[in-house]
Chain A
């Protein structure tokens, strides 16, 4: 049995806004009978161009129905510019979370919304963009790339949970892996297959990892880090910004910087701070 939140069960047993809006301004259809779930979303705008009414019709499991119901509740009262920014995560969040294997239900909601907005704006129905990767469920490489980027997916299983791709005959798993590697960037691949690194490769990879992975998250808290030197497997750095005066800086250094570098470069690394 699935571990559904009370909110999921509530929206499943008492769906809000089921049905079709009369003379809708936007219509979006996503999924198909063969896939096991499908959603038709309709909405109507008021004179201020806000979504006055939104309704859904869904064929699918409990979380598909609950996600559709949640979607209509979320977008009511929004302008289209606001609605456009609603993500599948917002839907899942609204419901207090969805089982990982059911995340594709929230993605279905987001996709239907996107199509309904495009319909209103008179944008020609988007042709299937990209190349079909999963034949079973008709999922394209672009859809998979987007799901990986938006939800930080790292494995084929994750991709299946969010997009269904790979959930049928499984013959596309290799292709999905390639897409994951492509989106996450090459260093990730290197770190997964720890080939023996030359010194230059190692230093380059440390630099890249600091730039791409570590600095952005330190900067969120007003901190920064600088690479001073690499001696053997000892990485000498200097903490800057708020990190330099933070009492927890040693924790950051060991538990975050060092473990990240060990994960993405090579497990032998030791990080040390340069002393003044």
Chain B
């Protein structure tokens, strides 16, 4: 069965060009970049090139790029570094819709001597900048706000809010894992101090990420050991993956137009058709300021996992904002923070596209999904009751 992969905010396929670039560094050119011999030295040169490519994608300089093992490590490093460099300050400001890499760390810190302000979002997933400004205090050690949300794709006005935070001289970090490669980012123009990105969200392999640290930002390392990364992140470099990340960043820069035109067109088509064909379905998050590849749609009176498994029968891969595991029976913290009603929150599906999707695949999903929702609704005890209501809405 052909796989139709529309779960690119979870992970992406490694681009063939990236794999090709990486391969020699496993078997033939396996030297340690720190070695004195030229066998290692040639690897060092290649790493330098890769670091430059990562920097170029976001408008940074190579020495501002710290290579890490993943987005989570970048987020943890950034927040802990800010706290360690200014140990007297005890307030952290973040949002209620962050990725667990930031959210759970902040929850942990809130139990260990820090005061964490979790900023709310509105029904459309938007942040109120005024709310942030009012929360800033002389005790604020760091503001960490994601650039774009992984579940809804909603983009926060980072350019705008960072100005105010920086005027107060407070460290600003952004988890841009979902944004890098999908929308243009230029740290040269936006005075953020730190930015996290992850390889496997932009067609590089899993297990590699980066943290941008603006020159002059006070820093304290998370991993302590060797001199790698100029002493800011010890550990022998994940050479092949870093080279892959460099190549992926180079490709992302080339593809960003396509992402914002063709991929956006496909996303819009999918979203529009599904909302048109399926009654009692709604979009989660604002339409305007959104990643070009992401759509989160809620289907009332059905449960997300059941939809996913039925789509799975057709080879369609997507994800649900409502993981029905007993440990987290409640719908995702993002949808909850947005105040999506229970009737809809349990049945949310996220499609996240990439440049590797084509229109044929989108048409296939548009053909297969509506009957799946209909079938599950027929099984649902709530659907009958809601039908009268649904008809009423149609008349509106």
Query: Which A residues contact B (CB, under 8 angstroms)?
Result: 2, 9, 12-13, 15, 18, 29, 33-40, 57-62, 64-65, 101-104, 136-137, 157, 160-161, 164, 167-168
In the complex with contacts A61-B305, A62-B305, A33-B328 CB distance below 8 A:
no
Contact assessment for B302 and A12 in the assembled complex, using a CB-CB cutoff below 8 Å:
no
Whether a CB of chain A sits under 8 angstroms from the CB of B144 is: no
Given contacts A13-B310, A13-B313, A62-B306, contact A168 B329 (CB under 8 A): yes
Please indicate the chain A residues that have their CB under 8 angstroms from the CB of B326 in the complex: 101-104, 160-161, 164, 167
Pairwise interchain contact B381-A37, C-beta atoms closer than 8 A: no
Q: State whether B343 touches A36 (Cβ < 8 A).
A: no
CA distance A209 to B324 in the complex (A): 39
Q: Inter-chain contact count A-B, CB under 8 Å?
A: 80
Q: Show 10 A/B contacts (Cβ-Cβ < 8 Å), sorted by A.
A: A9-B309, A13-B310, A18-B378, A33-B343, A33-B346, A35-B329, A58-B381, A59-B380, A101-B326, A101-B327
| Given A36-B303, A59-B303, A61-B303; A160-B381 close (CB under 8 Å) | no
- Contact partners of A39 in chain B: CB under 8 A: 381
A215 to chain B, nearest CB (A): 35
Q: Specify the chain A residue showing the minimal Cβ separation from B329.
A: A167
Q: Are B303 and A60 in contact (CB under 8 A)?
A: yes
Give the residue of B305, B322, B330, B381 whose beta carbon is less than 8 angstroms from that of A168.
Answer: B330
**B367: min CB distance to chain A, Å:** 18
Most buried by A among B301, B305, B313, B346: B305
Q: In the complex, what's the smallest C-beta–C-beta distance from B118 to chain A, in angstroms?
A: 15
Complex Cα distance, B310 from A137, in Å, reads 27
Chain B residues contacting A64 (CB-CB under 8 Å) are 303, 306
**Across the interface, do A160 and B327 meet the contact criterion of CB distance under 8 Å?**
yes
Cα of A164 to Cα of B329 in the assembled complex, Å: 8
Besides A37-B324, A58-B379, A59-B380, 20 new A-B residue pairs in contact (Cβ under 8 A), listed by A number = A33-B382, A34-B342, A36-B331, A39-B381, A57-B381, A58-B381, A61-B306, A62-B305, A62-B309, A64-B303, A64-B306, A65-B306, A65-B379, A102-B326, A160-B326, A164-B326, A164-B329, A167-B328, A168-B329, A168-B330
B interface residues, how many (CB within 8 angstroms) = 26
Residues of B at the A interface (CB closer than 8 Å) are: 301-306, 309-310, 313, 322, 324-331, 342-343, 346, 378-382
- B322 near A12 with CB under 8 A, answer no
B312 (CB) vs chain A CBs: closest residue: A1
Given contacts A33-B343, A59-B301, contact A12 B327 (CB under 8 A): no
Chain A residues with CB under 8 Å of B322's CB are 36
The smallest C-beta distance from A226 to any residue of chain B, in angstroms, reads: 43
> What's the Cα separation between A54 and B390 when bound, in Å?
28
Min CB distance A177 to B, Å, is 16
Q: How many whole Å from A37's CB to the nearest CB in chain B?
A: 7
Asked if A137 meets B329 with Cβ closer than 8 Å, knowing A12-B306, A13-B313, the reply is yes
Interface contact B324-A36, CB-CB below 8 Å:
yes
* Chain A: CB-nearest residue to B313: A13
Residues of chain B contacted by A57 (CB below 8 angstroms): 379-381
Cα A249 to Cα B329 in complex, Å, equals: 47
CB distance from B370 to the nearest CB of A (A): 18
- In the bound complex, residues from chain A placing their C-beta under 8 Å from that of B343 are 33
Chain B residues within 8 Å of A37, by CB = 303, 324
Chain B residues lying within 8 Å of A103, measured Cβ to Cβ, are 326
Q: Are A36 and B346 touching (Cβ within 8 A)?
A: yes
Would you give the shortest CB distance from A101 to chain B, in whole angstroms? 5
Known: A12-B306, A60-B303, A164-B329. A38 touches B382 (CB 8 A): yes
Do A59 and B382 touch (CB < 8 A)?
yes
Determine the chain A residues whose CB is within 8 A of the CB of B380 once the complex forms: 57-59
User: Which B residue's beta carbon lies closest to that of A31?
Assistant: B381
**Residues in A neighbouring B327, C-beta threshold 8 A:** 101, 157, 160, 167
CB distance from A34 to the nearest CB of B (A): 4
- B142 CB to nearest A CB, Å: 27
Among B302, B324, B330, B343: residue with most chain A CB under 10 A: B324
Minimum CB–CB distance from B222 to chain A (whole Å) comes to 29
CA separation between A57 and B378, bound complex, in Å? 8
A101 contacts across to B, CB distance below 8 A: 325-327
- Assess whether A60 is in contact with B329, with CB atoms less than 8 Å apart: no
Q: Which A residues are CB-close (under 8 A) to B309?
A: 9, 12, 62
- The 8 A-B pairs with the shortest beta carbon distances in the complex, nearest first, are A57-B381, A61-B305, A59-B380, A40-B381, A167-B329, A61-B324, A34-B342, A101-B326
User: How far does the alpha carbon of A210 sit from the alpha carbon of B380 in the complex, in Å?
Assistant: 50
A residues within 8 A CB of B302? Answer: 59
Q: List chain B residues, Cβ under 8 A from A12.
A: 306, 309
The answer to whether A136 touches B381 (Cβ under 8 A) is no
A9 partner residues in chain B, CB cutoff 8 A: 309
Residue of B nearest to A57 (CB): B381
Considering the chains assembled together, what is the distance between the CA atoms of A9 and B306 in angstroms?
11
CA distance A39 to B310 in the complex (A): 19
Q: Which residue of chain A lies nearest to B302 when distances are taken between CB atoms in the complex?
A: A59
Residues of A within 8 A of B301 (CB): 33, 59
A60-B313 CB under 8 A given contacts A18-B379, A33-B382, A101-B325 = no
